[in-house]
Amino acid sequence: MSKPLKQIHLAAHFPGVNNTTVWSDPEAGSHIEFSSFAHFARTAERAKFDFLFLAEGLRLREQGGKLYDLDVVGRPDTFTVLSALAAVTERLGLTGTINSTFNEPYEVARQFASLDHLSGGRAAWNVVTSWDAFTGENFRRGGFLPQEERYSRAKEFLATAIELLDSWHGDEIVADRHSGTFLRDAKAGAFVHQGHHFDIEGQFNVPRSPQGRPVIFQAGDSDEGREFAAADADAIFSRHSTLREGQAFYADVKGHLAKHGRTHDQLLILPAATFVLGDTDAEAHERAREVRRQQVSGATAIKHLEFVWNRDLSAYDPDGPVPDIDPDLGEHTVARGRAQVRMYRDPLAVAREWRELAAANNWSIRDLVIETGNRQSFVGTPATVAETIDHFVQADAADGFILVPHITPGGLDVFADTVVPLLQERGVFRTEYEGTTLRDHLGLAHPDTGAPSGRAAS
Amino acid sequence: MSSSSSLSSSLSSSLPASLHLAVALDGAGWHPAAWREPEARPGELFTAAYWSGLVIEAERGLVDFVTIEDGLGLQSSYFTEPDGRTDRVRGRLDALLIAARVAPLTRHIGIVPTVVATHTEPFHISKAIATLDYVSTGRAGLRVQVTARHNEAAHFGRRTFPPVRIKGVEQSADPVVRELTTELFDEATDYVEVVRRLWDSWEDDAEIRDAATGRFIDRDKLHYIDFQGRHFSVKGPSITPRPPQGQPIVSALAHEHSTGAPFRLVGSSLDVGYVTPYDADHARAVVAAVRAEQRAAGRADEVVHLFGDLVVLLDDDPAKAAARRDRLDELAGEPYTSDAPIFTGTPVQLADLLQELRAAGLPGFRLRPAVVAHDLPQITRGLVPELQRRGAFRTAYEADTLRGLLGLPRPANRYAAAAAATA
């Protein structure tokens, strides 16, 4: 009478350059040394996760004209880490966030094709855009792109990269030493792309990779972003980790697929999620409260308020009331290099709402920032968390989650050891990898055959 | 990889008789018919197993480092355009990703991917090589290359080059060619400057994790690089902290050229230059020319290693090596030529030649195996033991970092030094 159980997809987000990551904890290790990445990846693979996820930022953040120093600062290069991780893992998918603004399609396509070859078909690309002149100061291109062209360029960038990846079909390399024929066709990899943003032609120089193309992720919540995902992406990295918001987002995005000729299972919705575990639910909630206090110091709370107010609020007491002055509605100048600043599209309304919330609950500035920004997604015993995750997936709030631990690199260990076995017992999470490629793990078809990519070979 | 181990190693590796060896990896080997040899594995050229096997073999031979060739278009036998051939290896994987893939599988050998300065972003490459240095715990370098190929420029669609046809690396009197050569190498010089400044844009102790003040970094120890040049401007700082070696090795292949541009790049900016003299006297002249550029750039007291590049075909019997070369040439349909001298003979004869060139001022050599499946083991299991018997090569790795193997100390940070001077 009920539909079959959905299988859950799980991914591990390496703790990032933001205040979710608690660097002051005695357990916190390096976020740069390769040993941290190897530990994190091995844990994820031991737990049969679908993939590991790396974020990216191409300019160090500034606030009030100075480098922001309260969060983890700095990270290694995405492609280099992922390729090295391919050497210390065998099945785990490797997802990299790569900017479509400050790169060129030919280079990015050959990097992902190379990663897919070198990992035996485990590469995925989270396509993001950033068009700001602030980040552009580090690149040849600079930051010239008007906002309205942001998605059109990203869309054309992705389409162009896919044309390059598809320019080899997989049967070009003969390598027959007797006849002396290496390539079947001198025109292997030939392409011409004449578009608004890119006008390029020639021959792509990386042969067809195991997955054909990397799995494509889209991150972002705007209407253009949803449409972009519904048309072109294999998975969405979203922020909606509560049940009701998740269900609304899920229904909306999956509802867009039909008009692009796609079915429900061709786009996975994978929200980011945080978690805190304990021996009892009460203990977990107490620990979660402590973690939130670590994540949001008084100084951090003031800085976060400045994202909305766009003013220097350093004179305010974080344990005191929310400022009664209004945000500066001019161009945002206080916090630079942060995506979340754009989330607050109507700063006056946000400030009003926050003042009312704080007054109604008797919250200080720090309380407010904690309660509006740092509530963990899943808190409880392993049994509670496993049950909740399963419920969210079966109730179509998500197809799985991209978990963001708050400790580097061991923050996933307990989850792997306690929650994953319970999900396996419930019959909703794999006990062994069935295929070899990330497309296999995610149940996505190979672009050439329409069939899961690794099954035929295994 | 402590700096003290690098320092002590620099003493032991600078024995006058000892020389440095690098191996240049490119597809199935440098001879165009290499892939047709019985030992070749042409079907595996695009796999991780192939590349890790080669680098592990090179490490077995205690060589200082491998370089990995790259390019932003299909390989071609012509200098400035595609050749449309189907009888040679075509297609390749990104060298930096290969380097990262093999780094965790090795412990001592340096790994030096090729990077094309002409069409890539110095910001991306700086953090990628810094990360390769983290992934390899101090064994990263890069080989910077320029390209004047029109077809490669069209892959990016952002610049065009004058319609010149260059036949090879020989000198050209054509002013358009001279101007283009100078422009590309000057851009590469800027590129290396940006890459190096970004590596120094974090001081070594910038990460403080000071719980008392809540500060993760001491932002006074991060620096904007504020580079402004003709082709790009880069603000900085890097997003990646200073790599383990401080400054990974920067190298380039440099031919004699009437503009002087390639040697100027080596003299002004690099740690290692690969040069192609045809005999010992020529080697002396090339060394003198690069040293003059080094002095002109104010780097007379810095170590710039010049490695002789040689294509090698090695067999236990010289006649066998010669016959193999003939057979390969026959398969290729023409005699093999190269920008570098081609050595055909025994490991013992090659050891003689390397020691002669060593005496002429070349402290190291980058060997290009003609057939990698055959000539790489000839290097690691034939040449290396022969050099060891002569006391001319290490018998164990004496350092944990590539700088250490090359006898280079870990350099001071330019910005830390500047801050100390003004304090």
> Running along chain A, 458 residues long, what does each successive block of 10 average in pLDDT?
86 93 94 98 98 96 95 97 98 96 96 98 93 89 75 91 97 95 96 96 98 92 81 90 91 93 93 97 97 95 94 95 92 82 84 94 95 91 98 97 97 98 98 98 89 42
pTM given for the model: 0.96
User: How near does any CA of chain B get to the CA of A110, in Å?
Assistant: 7
Per-residue model confidence (pLDDT) at position A457: 35
pLDDT at B355 over 60: yes
The confidence band for B13, taking pLDDT boundaries of 50, 70 and 90, is: very low
What is the pairing mode between strands A235-238 and A190-194? unpaired
Closest CA to B110 of B143, B80, B88: B143
The confidence band for B7, taking pLDDT boundaries of 50, 70 and 90, is: very low
Burial letters for A335-367: b for 16+ Cβ neighbours within 10 Å, e otherwise? bbbbeebeebeebeebbeebeeebeeeebbbbb
Residue pair A382/A418 in contact (Cβ under 8 Å)? The answer is yes
Distance linking the first and last C-alpha atoms of chain B:
30
**Residue B202: phi, psi to the nearest 5?**
-110, 130
Residue A362 Rama label (left phi>0; alpha psi -120 to 50; beta): left
* C-alpha distance from residue B94 to each of A118, A327, B48, B53 (Å): 10, 48, 12, 17
Chain A contact for B16 (CB, 8 A cutoff):
no
Burial letters for B138-154: b for 16+ Cβ neighbours within 10 Å, e otherwise? bbbbbbbbbbbbbbbbb
Mean pLDDT, rounded, of chain B: 93
The predicted model gives B206-211 an average pLDDT of: 96
Query: Which secondary-structure segment (H or E) carries A52?
Result: strand A51-54
CA pair distance B152, B82, nearest whole angstrom: 9
User: How near does any CA of chain A get to the CA of B112, in Å?
Assistant: 13
Chain B residues with CB under 8 Å of A297 CB are 214
Per-residue model confidence (pLDDT) at position A63: 94
Per-residue model confidence (pLDDT) at position B417: 75
Chain A contact for B224 (CB, 8 A cutoff):
no
Chain A contact for B50 (CB, 8 A cutoff):
no
Closest partner CB to A206 (pick from B91, B127, B234): B91
Closest partner CB to B46 (pick from A57, A106, A117): A117
3-state secondary structure of B276: coil
Closest CA to A24 of B241, B206, B218, B214: B214
Domain boundaries, chain B: 17-194+243-390
CA pair distance B39, B51, nearest whole angstrom: 15
3-state secondary structure of A420: helix
Per-residue model confidence (pLDDT) at position B350: 98
Residue of B nearest to A204 (CA): B73
Chain A residues with CB under 8 Å of B100 CB are 79-81, 83-84
Per-residue model confidence (pLDDT) at position A2: 65
User: Which tokens is A163 given?
Assistant: 């044309």
Q: What topology does CATH give the domain B17-194+243-390? A: TIM Barrel (3.20.20)
| B217/A137 CB distance under 8 A | no
| A67/B42 CB distance under 8 A | no
Per-residue model confidence (pLDDT) at position B326: 98
The verdict on whether residue A181 carries a ligand-binding annotation is: no
**pLDDT tens-place string over residues B360-378:** 999 999 999 999 999 999 9
The confidence band for B168, taking pLDDT boundaries of 50, 70 and 90, is: low
Closest CA to A195 of A165, A144, A141, A157: A157
The verdict on whether residue A151 carries a ligand-binding annotation is: yes
**Residue B297: phi, psi to the nearest 5?**
-90, 5
Per-residue model confidence (pLDDT) at position B169: 59
Chain A residues with CB under 8 Å of B207 CB are 73-74
Q: Which residues contact A315 (CB under 8 A, 6 or more apart)?
A: none
Chain B residues with CB under 8 Å of A24 CB are 209, 211, 214
Residue pair B251/B273 in contact (Cβ under 8 Å)? The answer is yes
pLDDT at B279 over 80: yes
pLDDT at B87 over 90: yes
Closest partner CB to B239 (pick from A74, A140, A182): A74
Per-residue model confidence (pLDDT) at position A361: 95
Looking at chain B, the whole-number percentage of residues with pLDDT higher than 70 is 94
Looking at chain B, the whole-number percentage of residues with pLDDT higher than 90 is 87
| B215/A138 CB distance under 8 A | no
**Which residue ranges form the domains of chain A, and what is each CATH number?**
9-280+376-442 (3.20.20.30), 297-373 (no CATH)
Residue to mutate among B37, B54, B135, B329, with most A CBs inside 10 A, is B135
Angle of helix A347-361 versus helix A365-373 axis, rounded to 10: 110
**pLDDT tens-place string over residues B233-268:** 999 999 999 999 999 999 999 999 888 999 999 999
